[in-house]
């Protein structure tokens, strides 16, 4: 039988769409029906397994899956023997300590002798221990934010993204314990055949992510501005320059980093660029 790489992703929840999009944009086509446990990729030697996110590290350690997409928070909490291969730049959040809004807070000592409700007992215990704080950890699996309100604990440690859940439960974020995003993980002892497939997938994921962070840019400029503009948007090797039918003018094509985009645009306009078009890039192989 041909070797396939088994990739575990979350069945449903906050990681699901990002994981499906990333694999599909990387060229894997597979069905993801509601009650499916797994699906073979039609055009890539892989099989996608749909699991609960909490189970993914264990399955990858046990080689039920060879690789997986899961939040760094889960990887840190579960402490399994798996490798983090790549950060995937979605499902960003932070794990934070929060206390009732009315409480005076003047540093971590506040937590000494207090009870903290969390779904991340290992991470919180290590965090507090390293800082010499001794608190009680109360593990609960969901709706952590209601714990202080019902008298179950005096504080919480939970995932935060916009902060509105804490706010609407009368809590205030006081310490960030860790930042998290979705990551690609893999078993450290893959066979050479599986490692080769994983490398191929990683190459594609990198191309998709690079493209997301870049824009294709076209502009017109007077010929004397070409050198100046090339310094602003050097592109992958150097920009493409083509003459316009209008004497003394050229069209210049390049690639620009999304994060730096608006700064560059301002510089380009100051340098004489006109008719600037910015176009998304689908894949980018450098």
Interaction site with ligand PRT (CB under 6 A): 10, 13-15, 52-54, 71, 73-74, 91, 93, 158-165, 180
For residue 187, the partner it binds in ligand PRT, Zn ion, none, with Cβ less than 5 to 8 A by kind, is none
Name the 3-class secondary structure at 144.
helix
Q: Are 185 and 67 in contact (CB under 8 A)?
A: yes
- Give the residue at shortest CB distance from ligand PRT: 71
From the list 25, 54, 89, 103, which residue makes contact with Zn ion (rule: CB under 5 A)?
54
For residue 165, the partner it binds in Zn ion, ligand PRT, none, with Cβ less than 5 to 8 A by kind, is ligand PRT
Q: Give the binding range for Zn ion (CB under 5 A) out of 52-60, 193-201, 234-242, 249-257.
A: 52-60
For residue 259, the partner it binds in Zn ion, ligand PRT, none, with Cβ less than 5 to 8 A by kind, is none
Q: Which residue has the tokens 């906050």?
A: 14
Q: How many CB atoms lie within 10 A of CB 84?
A: 13
Joined together, the tokens standing for residue 17 give 């769409």
What is the nearest approach in angstroms of ligand PRT to the Cβ of residue 14?
4
Instruction: Tell me: does residue 55 bind Zn ion (CB under 5 A).
Output: no
CA 106 to chain centre: 32
Name the 3-class secondary structure at 278.
strand
122-161 in b/e form (b: 16+ CB < 10 A) is ebbeebbeeeebebebbebeeebbebbeeeebbbbbbbbe
What is the nearest approach in angstroms of ligand PRT to the Cβ of residue 111?
20
Q: Give the binding range for Zn ion (CB under 5 A) out of 34-42, 45-53, 168-176, 256-264.
A: 45-53
Positions in the binding site for Zn ion (CB under 5 A): 53-54
């Amino acid at each position: 039988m041909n070797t396939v790489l088994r990739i575990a992703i979350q069945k449903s929840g906050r990681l699901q769409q990002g994981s499906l999009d990333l694999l599909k944009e990387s060229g894997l086509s597979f069905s993801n029906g509601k009650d499916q446990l797994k699906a073979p990729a039609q055009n890539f030697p892989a099989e996608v397994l749909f699991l609960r996110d909490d189970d993914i590290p264990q399955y990858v350690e046990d080689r039920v899956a060879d690789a997986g997409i899961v939040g760094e928070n889960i990887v840190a909490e579960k402490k399994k023997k798996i490798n983090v291969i790549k950060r995937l730049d979605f499902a960003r959040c932070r794990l934070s300590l929060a206390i009732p809004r009315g409480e005076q807070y003047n540093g971590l000592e506040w937590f000494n002798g207090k009870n903290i409700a969390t779904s991340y007992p290992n991470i919180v215990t290590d965090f507090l221990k390293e800082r010499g704080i001794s608190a009680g950890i109360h593990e609960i699996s969901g709706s952590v934010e209601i714990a202080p309100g019902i008298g179950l604990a005096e504080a919480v440690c939970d995932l935060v993204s916009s902060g509105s859940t804490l706010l609407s439960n009368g809590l205030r974020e006081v310490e960030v314990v860790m930042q998290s995003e979705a990551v690609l993980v893999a078993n450290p002892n893959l066979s050479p055949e599986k490692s080769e497939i994983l490398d191929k997938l990683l190459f594609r994921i990198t191309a998709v992510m690079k493209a997301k962070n870049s824009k294709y840019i076209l502009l017109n400029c007077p010929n004397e501005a070409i050198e100046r503009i090339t310094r602003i948007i050097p592109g992958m090797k150097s920009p493409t320059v083509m003459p316009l039918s209008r004497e003394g003018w050229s069209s210049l094509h390049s690639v620009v980093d999304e994060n730096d985009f608006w700064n560059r645009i301002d510089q380009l306009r100051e340098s004489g660029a006109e008719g600037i078009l910015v176009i998304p890039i689908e894949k980018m192989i450098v």
